[in-house]
Amino acid sequence: MVCSKCGSENVNVINETTNMQTRNRGRGCLWGLMRACLIICTCGLWLLVGKSKGKSNTKVKNKTVCICQNCGNKWYI
């Protein structure tokens, strides 16, 4: 690679994390109804079992970045 600013070939290519998103998903309505029925049927013993937290999904977006070691110019590929 050649730097567009100074013309040097002393360029590092790295991956840079630009965006991370985490989405938490709980249990659905049907799970809540089933839990309520189990609490009633077991006379409250089901309350000793803790609630589940559900799932979480994380999406990560990366970009490839070139950095010139001579002049410090930075550009995306």
Q: What DSSP string runs through 2-60?
A: --TTT--S-EEEEEEEEEEEEEEE---HHHHHHHHHHHHHTTTGGGGSPPP--EEEEEE
22 secondary structure, DSSP code: E
Residue of 54, 45, 7 whose CA lies nearest to 26 = 54
Q: What domain range includes position 30?
A: 11-76
Q: Is residue 2 part of a domain?
A: no
Residue 28 placed within a domain: yes
Question: Is position 3 within any domain?
Answer: no
> Is 1 part of any domain?
no
Q: Residue 37 domain-assigned?
A: yes
Binning pLDDT at 50, 70 and 90, where does residue 65 land?
very high
Number of domains, the chain: 1
Q: Is residue 6 part of a domain?
A: no
What pLDDT does 4 receive?
87
Given a cut of 80, whether residue 50 has pLDDT beyond it is no
54 lies in some domain: yes
In a domain, 5, yes or no: no
Is pLDDT at 52 greater than 90 in this prediction? no
Model confidence band, residue 15 (pLDDT cutoffs 50, 70, 90): very high
